[in-house]
Structure 1
Amino acid sequence: MKDLLQWLEKSELAQNGLASLLILVVALGLRSAALRALQRSKLHVDDQLRWRTQIRNVTLVVITVAVVTVWAHELRTFAISIAAIAAALAIATKEFLMCLLGSTLRASGSSFRVGDRIEVVGIRGDVLDIGPLTTTVLEVGPGQSIHQRTGRKITVPNSVFLSNPVTNETTSDDFVLHVLRVPFSASDDWKGARVRLQEIAQRRCAEWVDQARRALAQATPLGVASNLISTEPVVYLEVPDPGRIELLLRFPAPVRRRGRVAQQILRELLGDDRGLDELDEDASSPSGSHA
């Protein structure tokens, strides 16, 4: 008996357990006595039922409050442990959850698909694979001015799609609008070059202008005018610096031949007609980007 008392004095858990048991016994005993007194009373049956319900509810509240008070320290420690575990899990799985959310955002917005040429966080390339956590692209570049595949595969976590804009250069599966920049000095004959550049582009693109218009019209969202995007070759002027003029040619081109067509137009403008028909998409392209 002495050992039992010493154990109870040293064990806080045992003391709390014994206190909880006493609370339960006392509360249930008082409830039983109250119910017997109610049964002997001369109250109407409906009143007795109402009092029985109140006695039951009061007993439950008293037991709950008393037990929580007894175990308050342990419950506080347990709550802190749970909070610490939850925080650790949140930190450990943050990137995982963000990747899943980024994948969901991409799928819900249909921002790109396999085969599209995209640019995100400075990475530009053709999409090879889209997974729940990562997206793999075949790098194109370097920079905006080159359309040559470097041969490097880059895996991007889908979390980048949550906070970074994605540029999709593939408006249509078959055709794109491409921009070719040709710099001139203000003293050069840029006016004549502008006319000649327009003529060359119209001749080179004549065979697919109508096809490109139909393809890009099909890619136009519902409710938007189908002629929103013009596919006719057009030359714009830009003055990036004093004494310097740039001719910007926007023209339609087949997706897999944009670099080749740009090279053909540029070399014909410069009078270099050698091997124009032998150029391929993997040749270095001139300074250009999609509109």
Structure 2
Amino acid sequence: MWDFKEISDLVLEYKLALSVTLAMLILIVRRWVIKGIRRRAKRKAQDKRPVVNAIKNITNLSLVFFLLAIWSAELQHLALSIAAFVVGIVLATREYIQCFTGFLYVTSTRVFRVGDWVEVGDVCGEVVESDWLSLTLQEVYLPTYDYTGKTLNIPNNQLFTKPVRNLNFLKRYATHTFTITRNQTVNVFQFIERLHERAKKHCLHFRDVAIRYNSMIEHRLDVTIPGPDPTIRVTTSELGDTEVTITIFCPTEEAIEIEQKITSDFMAYWYATKSKAALPEPADDEVHRVNGAS
């Protein structure tokens, strides 16, 4: 039977082979586990990306820990031999240290998780993966709430220097604001009440869900947000044109569609008022869709 000293000597003698074998074993097991999790998530229609991301980070940390344990003596000698260059090494690896610190900060504070919508500086996207060095986002164009198809890799050190906003609530419901600008040949207050009723009708089919979601956001964030009923505000621009700003609290995927319907109603009322004709009764949502298709 081998004693502990013999095993230690054997490990020291075959460090390189042991390191390669251990790395391959950990990576193979990780790939097998992740593949099983993704297969089960696809079968149950569940989002397991946070679990997959956590497994990747844990296995990477374990691999580094074991490699450091195996090569600790060599690393110690190396550290002693380059003690005079420690300052230079720190300066050279400053960006990596900041990235790793940023990863620890995000992980400890739970600013976001995989699958959340976040805004870092002036870019916005859905978190796809977060590792020690960078944050990977699928870019989202906020004015239309659509994916652009671009993948963004943001170094973690920017999480310290730029504001990070969690926009996860926008994935389901958004406070969508848009402005319609026309000249002052028409007094929009003649039909603003009717336009408001039309806006409320377009939002009627999800009003109950919007009320609950609005209350949940206000309770969680401890703030008051507009909604769920539409609001309309009339102002003038610097050039003297009339600006009608409409705010709706609606499902994110329906925001642009509802904006187009309200804009269609506004234009119908505006031209009817300008020609001094009777205000039209805009078609129902079904007729809107038929007209749009034609």
Does the pair score TM above 0.5?
Answer: yes
TM-score range normalised by the length of the shorter chain: 0.5 to 0.7
Q: Who wins on radius of gyration, i.e. which is larger? A: 1
**Counterpart contact for 1:209–1:231, Cα < 8 Å:** yes
Structure 2 counterpart SS, 1:125: strand
- Say which of 247, 259, 263 aligns to 1:262: 259
One-letter amino acid of the structure 2 residue matched with residue 88 of structure 1: G
User: Equivalent residue for 1:152?
Assistant: 150
What are the superposed Cα offsets for residues 160-208 of structure 1, whole Å, 9 maximum, x if unpaired? Answer: 1212113333326532211122122233433246434422221111122
Structure 2 counterpart SS, 1:106: helix
One-letter amino acid of the structure 1 residue matched with residue 133 of structure 2: L
Structure 2 counterpart SS, 1:115: coil
User: TM-score of the superposition, structure 2-length normalised?
Assistant: 0.55
**Counterpart contact for 1:217–1:229, Cα < 8 Å:** no
Q: Give the whole-Å Cα distance in 2 for the aligned partners of 1:217 and 1:232.
A: 13
User: Equivalent residue for 1:38?
Assistant: none
Structure 2 counterpart SS, 1:270: helix
User: Equivalent residue for 2:124?
Assistant: 124
Per mean C-alpha deviation after superposition, the further-off stretch among 178-187 and 99-108 is 99-108
User: TM-score of the superposition, structure 1-length normalised?
Assistant: 0.56
Matched, 1:209 2:207: yes
Deviation at 1:243, TM superposition (A): 0.3
Higher RCO (C-alpha 8 Å, min separation 6):
1
Segments of structure 2 that go 5 or more residues without pairing to the other structure are: 1-79, 269-281
Identity %: 21
Structure 1 counterpart SS, 2:205: coil
Higher helix share: 2
User: Equivalent residue for 1:103?
Assistant: 103
Aligned residues: 199
Q: Give the whole-Å Cα distance in 2 for the aligned partners of 1:194 and 1:232.
A: 15
What are the superposed Cα offsets for residues 244-287 of structure 1, whole Å, 9 maximum, x if unpaired? Answer: 332221111113322222233223433497984489xxxxxxxx
What are the superposed Cα offsets for residues 91-140 of structure 1, whole Å, 9 maximum, x if unpaired? Answer: 22222222223233334444333333333232223333333322222223
Q: Which runs of 4+ in 1 moved over 6 A?
A: 272-275
Distance 1:159 1:173, change over 3 A: same
Q: Give the whole-Å Cα distance in 2 for the aligned partners of 1:140 and 1:250.
A: 21
Segments of structure 1 that go 5 or more residues without pairing to the other structure are: 1-78, 280-291
User: Equivalent residue for 1:243?
Assistant: 240
**Counterpart contact for 2:100–2:132, Cα < 8 Å:** yes
